[in-house]
């Protein structure tokens, strides 16, 4: 028995359906595999970007610290320059008015509990009195009467009245060369 169309299968759609299912399964699987690979690559790129961001932030903080240090140095140099200019100005003013150290001499006083006639004590006090060309810097100064009957600010009873003087300090006076 021969069948009329022996070349055509009994179920013409059955073999194509299996191939289609396998083909769809493979396409889905390939799409999933590609998506997974892209997801892995994207996550690696993200991790690399995060590491690079952390490094850049560290570098930025280092640069900020270096900039702050440079700014502090710059401000310190500017302050130093202003101080030098102020010192130069003061020194020029001092030279004009004769207040430089080389224009002055020093005399040290060291009198301890010394008995002195009132006239000698008056001369000493007149010598250390402040004037245009003299300045006295006292470290210690004491003036008292020897006799309890005498007063320090009243005329003495006797012309031979004495005072007890203690005096320690420096007298600065204009040097002869600067006075010219």
Measured distance CA(179)–CA(40) in Å, rounded: 94
Residue range(s) defining the domain that contains residue 148: 101-179
Q: Residue 50's pLDDT is what? A: 95
The last residue of a domain, from among 50, 68, 97: 97
Regarding whether 82 and 107 lie in a shared domain, the answer is no
φ, ψ for residue 155 (rounded to 5)? -60, 140
Regarding whether 106 and 70 lie in a shared domain, the answer is no
Regarding whether 79 and 116 lie in a shared domain, the answer is no
Q: Name the residue with tokens 């012309």.
A: 159
Regarding whether 126 and 91 lie in a shared domain, the answer is no
Measured distance CA(139)–CA(54) in Å, rounded: 66
Measured distance CA(104)–CA(94) in Å, rounded: 12
In a domain, 10, yes or no: no
Regarding whether 123 and 93 lie in a shared domain, the answer is no
- When divided into structural domains, the chain yields a total of 2
Regarding whether 84 and 21 lie in a shared domain, the answer is yes
Measured distance CA(140)–CA(129) in Å, rounded: 15
Q: Residue 44's pLDDT is what? A: 94
What is 95-145 written as a DSSP string? Answer: HHHT-SGGGEEEEEEEEEEEEEEHHHHHHHHHHHS-BTTEEEEEEEEEEEE
Radius of gyration of the chain (CA): 53
- Torsion sign across C-alpha atoms 117, 119, 122, 127: negative
Regarding whether 93 and 22 lie in a shared domain, the answer is yes
Regarding whether 115 and 70 lie in a shared domain, the answer is no
Whole-structure pTM value? 0.43
The CA-to-CA distance between both ends of the chain, in Å, stands at 156
- List the pLDDT tens digit at each of the 180 positions of the chain: 555 555 555 555 555 666 777 888 888 889 999 999 999 999 999 999 999 999 999 999 999 999 999 999 999 999 999 999 999 999 898 888 777 777 788 889 898 988 988 888 889 888 888 888 888 889 999 988 888 888 878 887 777 788 899 999 998 888 775 444
């Amino acid at each position: 028995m021969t069948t009329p169309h022996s070349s055509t299968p009994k179920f013409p759609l059955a073999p194509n359906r299996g191939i289609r299912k396998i083909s769809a399964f493979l396409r889905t699987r390939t799409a999933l595999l590609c998506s997974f690979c892209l997801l892995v690559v994207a996550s690696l790129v993200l991790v690399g970007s995060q590491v690079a961001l952390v490094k850049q932030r560290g570098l930025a903080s280092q640069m900020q610290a270096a900039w702050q240090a440079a700014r502090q140095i710059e401000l310190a140099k500017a302050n130093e320059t202003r101080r030098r200019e102020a010192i130069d100005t003061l020194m020029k003013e001092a030279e004009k008015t004769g207040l430089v150290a080389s224009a002055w001499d020093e005399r040290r006083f060291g009198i301890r509990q010394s008995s002195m006639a009132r006239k000698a004590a008056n001369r000493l006090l007149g010598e250390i009195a402040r004037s245009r060309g003299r300045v006295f810097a006292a470290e210690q100064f004491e003036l008292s009467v020897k006799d309890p009957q005498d007063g320090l600010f009243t005329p003495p009873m006797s012309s031979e009245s004495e005072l007890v003087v203690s005096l320690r300090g420096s007298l600065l006076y204009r040097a002869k060369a600067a006075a010219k």
